[in-house]
Amino acid sequence: MSDYQTLLVASLLHDIGKFWQRTGESHGPRYAPYGPEDYGRHGAHAKWSAETIERFFPTWTAAIQPVLRHHAPPQDRLTQLVTLADRLSAAERDDSESDTPRTAVTGGVKTRSGQRQLVSVFTRLQLDGLQPPPPAYWPLTPLRLEPAVLFPIKQPVTEDQERVHYRQLWEAFTNELRKLPQALDFPARFVTLVHLLARFCWCIPSAYFQQATPDISLYDHLRSTCALAAALHQAQLSDQTLQALLAQRVPEWEQPCLTLIAADITGVQRFLYTLTAARAARSLRGRSFFLQLVTEAIGRWLLRQLDLPLVNLLYAGGGRCYLLTQFLSDDALTTLRQQLDRILLTTTDGELYVALAARPLSCADLSVPERFRTAWTQLHESLQAFKGRKFADLPAEELAQNLFAPRGIGGPEPPCAICRREAPVARLEDDERICARCDSFIDLGSELRRARWLFLREIDPVVPRTPREQAHYRGLLAALGLELHLIANDAQLERLVALGRGTLLRVDDPDFLTPPALEIAKQSGSIGLGFAFLANVVPVERDGSVMEFETIAASGPGARGLGILRMDVDDLGRLFALGLGEQLSLSRLASLSGGLRLFFEGYLATRARQYNDQQKPLYLVYSGGDDVFAVGHWHTIAHFALELRNDFRSFTSGNPVLHLSAGVALVPEHAPLYQAAEEAKEALEAAKARSENGRVVKNAITFLGRTLDWSQFEQVTKEVRELAQLIEHDLLPRSLLQNLAAVGLLYDQARTEAMWRGTLRPGQLVYGRWLWLATYLLSRARERLADSSPAAAHLAKLQHDLRDPALAERLRLVARWTQLVTRREDVG
């Protein structure tokens, strides 16, 4: 191994011994003679780490000394880099760490000072004086996309149970390590190890603090430590500077030696949603996945330019990626921007643009939460500025030549039936032109729907030359140095061996060391293994084709129509910057973003598949980062939104600062997608504008033009269900719904007038004509019913409850929703 590779191994595995140590098992006799003078104060776990490397990675034993001594006064350069990276990773003090819990006697009961079970970082977030919930604990089990695994529990396991769980988890982890083929080269083995750590160390606390809460996973700590070590190595610090940093001497401690990069793809909304309804379903998932790939490809491209490992891509999703790199000069950053600008201009005609912002970091910035918060904020301010100056780093002449050259083909040829763009390369389908780009997205979506494996190859960048190459999604990926292969079944894996080096990722399943995959890795020696969450959910017909929007629109009860859902986490930027207070660190940010990805890219797809399995077609166009775009029957999508909100609340342990807002647009199946997407966006914005007592609180859903908080919306769904059953069983006339809707409209008008007059107080019922009209209508309706009938009882309760202002406010929505869901429409 090279020194650089040795450093990567040592920093990635420096604390893996904590995992083994917590099983209660002893390390082997080889490391028994080592004492605190060798491994340093609180560094006993290093003996287990060293033996892990020796036992399971015999070709990586050069990393043992840096691992063994990273808590002791470091001597050689590699150990110094590991030590510094470890200290910076969680902005933690070395002398506050302990390998074992202390015990105390409280009230005659022996207690531990804490729990060696990972506390959900979501229970640590605080904003605006709201108290966080009690700690909740992740179960000690391998990662799986199941609620019993992903949702933290309130009660930690006992000390005895904890040790049993650690032993079972360690045994499962080491059994997987034993499966790794000896033939794997360093890059393949390293990337496979990173994914194994993600699967088994996601739920293990990285360190045991006497005065703090163990809320950073061992995986996040190991990964960020490795990223820091790699970036520090590439910074080419002098020995004198490195020693000064270890001693926290000024000015070195204050001088930038690293860079935090943020890259954001702009033009995403236009690229995704400027489609007609015709055949949009067939190409939409391909487009969405393509943008995920482009985000990943840009991150990987930057890593290759800077000779950094994949762990330095801290996050990639939602059209944005973050990287930790060595210090980069302004000239170096400008060069990177220019190269990316040229690639995107050539391959997308400027439709997509990457805003690339950077913030230099000193070790002090990473060690002091307030300084790191300032750096994080300034990075995003810079990113926002770059988003407003597209392609501005290119020379003016070059920019003019690219942007103002003629576009399209002109002449009588009609535009593409899907995207409405003129295109020189197209094919005819049912007498309509499908451009080469949309055609490639249709193929991508079709392949993705069947994909069980994803194979990514990093190649030498190749700029597409012909119009067809430029239009095809593979053209842009190739220009960024990435090649994609989607594998539908295990039998197709064999063809990968001939392709050469790459990474084979199992789709939406962390159990990735399957016998067929291991055989491919063994034969190639250069194919690493792992897993990826793609939120890949598309409804299909019986023949396997993608279900069109027209079919989805007719798949639910009542009126035909599509529901377009847009949903995201409220105030996420503030939560990242301020929610952790004095506990803010690089590792905790990694834990936060990683947790959100588990929910939005992992669990949410599982929930969506359940809907499709229940014959409730749901098209998950995009789910990643913190936001969702989904299409379904309007009634189905409303219930899906509510279930997601409730699941997210459970996932985050009911923390009051963590909540979602959603907007649902109800549109005809033939409405242009851009129009539907814009209506859903406006509905989401209305939800995020919800206020209480003059303060914007968000935490709401807008549906059928009405914005409600989630508890009110859940009550609406129950009232609609009860009322619809009475209507469908002919126990109440449908004409009652029109009357209730009219009463609700009158109440809304009275409430609005009171608001303008300034006489409306929170929680106040606004009296007016609506109330006596409702009383009259409900009384007349009850007169036609037997007193003992369920319908009469329902109307009596409704009449009584109308003096509750909350019910009065939602009455119009209940009536309108019930009208739609009980409508009978002709089929065919």
Supply the pLDDT for residue 95: 39
pLDDT over threshold 60, residue 109: no
Q: Taking the CA atoms of the chain, what radius of gyration do you get in angstroms?
A: 29
- Specify the pLDDT at position 213: 80
Tell me the pLDDT tens digit for each residue of 483-513: 999 999 998 999 999 999 999 999 999 999 9
Please give the distance of CA 91 from its chain centroid, rounded to a whole number.
24
Q: Are residues 685 and 720 in the same domain?
A: no
- Do 774 and 687 share a structural domain? no
Cβ distance 284 to 274 under 8 Å? no
305-344 per-position pLDDT tens digit: 999 999 999 999 888 999 999 999 999 999 999 999 999 9
| 577 within a domain of the structure (yes/no) | yes
Residue 341 lies in a domain: no
CA 81 to chain centre: 31
Specify the pTM.
Answer: 0.92
Q: Which residues pair with 260 in a beta bridge?
A: 324, 359
| In contact, 662 and 566? CB cutoff 8 Å | yes
Where is pLDDT greater, at 753 or 684?
684
pLDDT at 536: 84
Give yes or no for a contact between 449 and 612, defined as CB atoms under 8 angstroms apart.
no
Has residue 112 got a pLDDT over 60? no
Tens digits of per-residue pLDDT, 211-224?
568 889 999 999 99
pLDDT at 655: 97
Judge if 609 and 660 occupy the same domain: yes
- State the Cα–Cα distance between residues 176 and 40, nearest whole angstrom: 31
Residue 27, domain extent: 3-100+109-207+216-234
In a domain, 423, yes or no: no
State yes or no: pLDDT of 782 exceeds 60: yes
Average pLDDT over residues 418-440: 83
For residue 672, what pLDDT is reported? Answer: 83
Of residues 259 and 468, the one with the higher pLDDT is: 259
% of residues, the chain, pLDDT over 70: 93
Q: Average of pLDDT values for 644-663?
A: 97
Q: What pLDDT sits at residue 111?
A: 37
Residue 587 lies in a domain: yes
Q: Residues near 306 by Cβ (< 8 Å), separated by ≥ 6? A: 234, 312, 325, 326, 328
Average pLDDT in the chain: 89
Task: Look at residue 273 and tell me if it is in a domain.
Answer: no
391 near 403, Cβ under 8 Å?
Answer: yes
| pLDDT for residue 94 | 41
768 and 816 in a single domain? The answer is: yes
User: Domain check: are 54 and 180 in the same one?
Assistant: yes
The reported pLDDT for the residue numbered 107 is: 40
- Whether the predicted pLDDT of 713 surpasses 90: yes
Q: Domain ends where: 668, 703, 738?
A: 703
Most confident of 88-97, 519-528, 743-752, 753-762: 519-528
How does pLDDT run across 15-72, given as a tens digit for each residue?
999 999 999 888 888 887 777 666 666 667 888 999 999 999 999 999 999 998 877 7
Q: Kindly indicate the confidence band of residue 93, based on its pLDDT and cuts at 50, 70 and 90.
A: very low
**pLDDT at position 276, please?**
65
How distant is the alpha carbon of residue 410 from its chain centre?
A: 42
pLDDT at 808: 86
Q: What is the mean pLDDT of residues 789-800?
A: 90
783 within some domain: yes
What mean pLDDT do residues 761-776 have? 84
How crowded is residue 339: how many other Cβ atoms within 10 Å of its Cβ? 16
What's the rounded Cα separation, in Å, for the pair 497 and 501? 8
| Last-in-domain residue among 486, 515, 532 | 532
Confirm whether 116 is domain-assigned.
yes
Distance, in Å, from the CA atom of 514 to the CA atom of 529, rounded to the nearest integer, reads 10
3-class DSSP assignment, residue 675: helix
pLDDT recorded at residue 70: 79
Three-state SS string over 387-401 comes to HCCCCCCCCHHHHHH
Average pLDDT of the segment spanning 164-178: 97
Same-domain pairing of 515 and 585: no
Token pair recorded at residue 280: 């949009």
Looking at the structure, do residues 643 and 668 belong to the same domain, yes or no?
A: yes
Q: What is the pLDDT of residue 100?
A: 56
* Two tokens, residue 696: 């914007």
pLDDT of 609 above 60: yes
Query: Rounded to an integer, what distance in angstroms lies between the CA atom of residue 632 and that of residue 620?
Result: 9
**Which pLDDT belongs to residue 175?**
98
Same domain, 815 and 731: yes
> Do 222 and 85 belong to one domain?
yes
Q: Tell me phi and psi for residue 248, to 5 degrees.
A: 55, 45
Give the dihedral sign, CA 709/710/712/713. positive
**Residues making up the chain, counted from first to last:** 828
Backbone phi and psi for residue 355, each to the nearest 5 degrees, phi listed first: -85, 125
| Identity of the amino acid at 51 | E
Based on the fold, state whether residues 690 and 635 are members of the same structural domain: yes
The predicted model gives 181-186 an average pLDDT of 95
Domain boundary among 703, 722, 748: 703
Both 718 and 755 in a single domain? Answer: yes
Nearest-CA neighbor of 286 among 276, 275, 299, 272? 272
Structure tokens that stand for 594 in this block: 């990683």
Is 565 within the bounds of a domain?
A: yes
Best CA proximity match to 83, nearest among 291, 254, 246, 270: 246
Residue type, 782: R
Helix (H) or strand (E) holding 307: none
- 3-class state of residue 208 by DSSP: strand
Tell me the pLDDT tens digit for each residue of 355-412.
999 999 999 999 999 999 999 999 999 999 999 998 989 888 887 777 666 655 555 6
Q: Which of 214-218, 227-231, 316-320, 569-573 has the highest mean pLDDT?
A: 227-231
pLDDT at 733 (0 to 100)? 92
- 161 and 130 part of one domain: yes
Question: Domains in the chain: how many in total?
Answer: 4
Q: With 0-12 CB in 10 A as exposed, 13-18 as middle and 19+ as buried, what is 171?
A: exposed
